[in-house]
Amino acid sequence: DQQVKQNSPSLSVQEGRISILNCDYTNSMFDYFLWYKKYPAEGPTFLISISSIKDKNEDGRFTVFLNKSAKHLSLHIVPSQPGDSAVYFCAASAEGGTSYGKLTFGQGTILTVHP
Amino acid sequence: DTGVSQDPRHKITKRGQNVTFRCDPISEHNRLYWYRQTLGQGPEFLTYFQNEAQLEKSRLLSDRFSAERPKGSFSTLEIQRTEQGDSAMYLCASSLVGGHGYTFGSGTRLTVV
């Protein structure tokens, strides 16, 4: 039972353009969502998060949008840079607020940003 | 602070052998998590501790798996009688209760031959 799904295994974008990574979830109990970035041979690195009481959170070039009715979130990277090339994981928690325990991850999307 | 450390980075073992991995979290973090990641998949939750207490275990954690965090600092994950299906990247992470986002270690890659 895949409760968090990233349906695009890969995405290719030109440098300077917008990258949009998508994530869908099925569990209505999820109330906190996170994005992680992973380079080869390293562990995932926390990127940005959003609580279910918000519909948008922005941090520099990264913005996460949450559509609760559609059970959908997206990560926008503007402008995209070659150093953004990595695997991006969406994750969700049902524990409440920021005191999350278990995270449920999507399968990941490989982002490639071409110079 | 050197982040979350995992040892070893790589482990090759024969089927049926026991293996043990160690994780040293960020010192002030009171929560420690274990995840497993296979190729093409996201990390899958195994278990987590708050201080010494193991608060949740996944059904993925069969009887052959055991995790400990004896003094609320480092943790070990042991796999007994390894099987080829245990081959994966084992990730450890830590966080503060109320913190934003885990900090993951670089993982231990297990290959069972």
CB contact under 8 A, B102 and A46: yes
How many Cβ atoms are within 10 Å of B46's Cβ, its own excluded? 21
Q: What is the DSSP letter of B86?
A: G
Chain B stretch 68-97, residues whose beta carbon is closer than 8 A to a beta carbon of chain A:
91, 93, 97
The CA-based dihedral angle spanning residues B96, B98, B103, A92, taken in that order and rounded to the nearest 10 degrees:
140
pLDDT of the residue at A115: 93
Q: What is the DSSP letter of B71?
A: T
pLDDT of the residue at B56: 87
The DSSP-derived string for B26-67 is -TT--EEEEEEE-TTS--EEEEEEETTEEEEE-TTS-TTEEE
Rg (CA), chain A: 13
- Buried/exposed B2-22: b ≥16 CB within 10 Å, e otherwise: eebebeeeebebeeeeebebe
Select, from the ranges A22-26, A99-103, B24-28, B69-73, the one with the highest average predicted confidence (pLDDT): A22-26
Q: Which of B49, B104, B108, B109 to mutate to test the interface with A (most CBs of A within 10 A)?
A: B104
CA distances A46 to A31, A38, B80, B94, Å, are 17, 9, 32, 12
Instruction: Measure the CA–CA gap between B91 and B104, rounded to whole angstroms.
Output: 7
**Average pLDDT taken over every residue of chain A:** 93
Q: List pLDDT tens digits, range A61-103.
A: 999 999 999 999 999 999 999 999 999 999 998 875 445 678 9
pLDDT of the residue at B99: 66
Give the nearest chain A residue to B46 (CA atoms). Answer: A102
pLDDT of the residue at A1: 72
